């Protein structure tokens, strides 16, 4: 079982494994199925079982790669468990999932679980630098760092961002990356937080309006970036914990469909109140 976030190499690892095992016959002995396309028990009883019962080609066993296996219903997973046992001599399964806890325990106990962590930013930047060199695209180091920050360890998203930026022009800078990814400049988020913790409500609300109205960012994206910036903010731990708690509450309300502007303005106002209360508290 390959478990981890999107874009961390789960599918690539499975294909590379098939190449190494079967060499030129890898396509005959490797079948990739996406469980998110068909999630019910019938896909296990029909499609997966039909593939599993066919004999491998010049190999002791074949591989079925089941992508997004955590999308299968519990009934489908129970049927899959039985299929894995019945055809274990001629077939091996690789299950790929974003959330291993959504895979039933009987399947987990039959698998060796490999965790795929988000890629290191330096590795992402090195790969992007190699691609830009091969494609003759001029990109600054600041833009590479911006892409790796936006991608968050997802190499697929990083490459797509680089491709989108290259379609605009052959010279890519940091502002281009923030523009095409609809992401706020980290400095703008830092200014917003600094004004909030310093009690400058009007200035903080102006910064928020700039992000929401002029740049057109979604409330969820702003909340995500605020949370990320909070972790590196130089404030007392007690205040930081209170602010993070407020961010979590706002994120929940946005997920429930609340008005973005009202919720974010309320979040900034709460930041100001908590910061003022913390400063006035006796040490």
pLDDT computed for residue 14 by the predictor: 93
CB-based contacts of 278: which residues, under 8 Å, 6+ apart? 236, 238, 239, 242
pLDDT computed for residue 71 by the predictor: 85
Within a 10 A sphere around the Cβ of 122, how many other Cβ atoms?
A: 10
Judge contact between 86 and 51, C-beta under 8 A.
no
H-helix segments, the chain = 10-22, 26-29, 41-43, 49-53, 74-86, 105-108, 121-134, 141-151, 155-168, 174-180, 186-197, 201-209, 219-231, 237-255, 260-280
Under CATH, what is the fold of the domain 121-180?
A: Helicase, Ruva Protein; domain 3 (1.10.8)
- DSSP letter (8 states) at residue 45: I
pLDDT computed for residue 63 by the predictor: 92
pLDDT computed for residue 125 by the predictor: 93
pLDDT computed for residue 38 by the predictor: 63
The yes/no answer on whether domain 186-280 falls in CATH 1.20.272.10 is yes
Closest CA to 276 of 210, 183, 199: 199
pLDDT computed for residue 281 by the predictor: 59
Question: Measured in Å, how far apart are the chain's first and last C-alpha atoms?
Answer: 51
The CA distance from 31 to 20, in Å, is 15
Q: Which residues of the chain have pLDDT under 50?
A: none
Residues found in the chain: 283
Where are the CATH 1.20.272.10 domain residues in the chain?
186-280
pLDDT computed for residue 58 by the predictor: 85
The yes/no answer on whether domain 2-116 falls in CATH 3.90.470.10 is no
Where are the CATH 3.40.50.300 domain residues in the chain?
2-116
Judge contact between 57 and 28, C-beta under 8 A.
yes
């Amino acid at each position: 079982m390959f478990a981890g976030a999107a874009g961390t190499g789960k599918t690539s690892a499975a294909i590379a494994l098939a190449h190494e095992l079967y060499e030129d016959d890898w396509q005959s002995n490797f079948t990739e199925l996406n469980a998110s396309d068909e999630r019910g028990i019938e896909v296990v009883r029909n499609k997966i079982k039909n593939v599993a019962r066919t004999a491998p080609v010049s190999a002791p066993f074949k591989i079925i790669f089941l992508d997004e296996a955590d999308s299968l219903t519990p009934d489908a997973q129970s049927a899959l468990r039985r299929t894995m046992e019945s055809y274990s001599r001629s077939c091996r399964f690789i299950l790929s999932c974003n959330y291993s806890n959504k895979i039933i325990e009987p399947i987990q106990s039959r698998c060796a679980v490999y965790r795929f962590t988000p890629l290191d930013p330096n590795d992402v930047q090195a790969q992007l630098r190699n691609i830009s060199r091969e494609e003759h695209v001029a990109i600054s180091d600041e833009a590479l760092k911006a892409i790796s920050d936006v991608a968050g360890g997802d190499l697929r998203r990083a490459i797509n961002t680089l491709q989108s930026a290259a379609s605009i022009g052959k010279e890519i800078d940091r502002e281009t990356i923030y523009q095409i990814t609809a992401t706020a400049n980290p400095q703008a988020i830092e200014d917003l937080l600094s004004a909030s913790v310093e009690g400058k409500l009007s200035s903080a609300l102006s910064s928020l309006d700039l992000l929401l109205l002029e740049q057109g960012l979604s409330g969820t994206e702003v909340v995500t970036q605020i949370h990320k910036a909070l972790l590196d903010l130089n404030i007392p731990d007690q205040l930081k914990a209170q602010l993070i708690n407020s961010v979590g509450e706002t994120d929940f309300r946005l997920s429930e469909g609340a008005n973005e502007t009202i919720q974010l303005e309320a979040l900034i106002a709460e930041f100001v109140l908590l910061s003022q209360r913390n400063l006035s508290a006796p040490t």
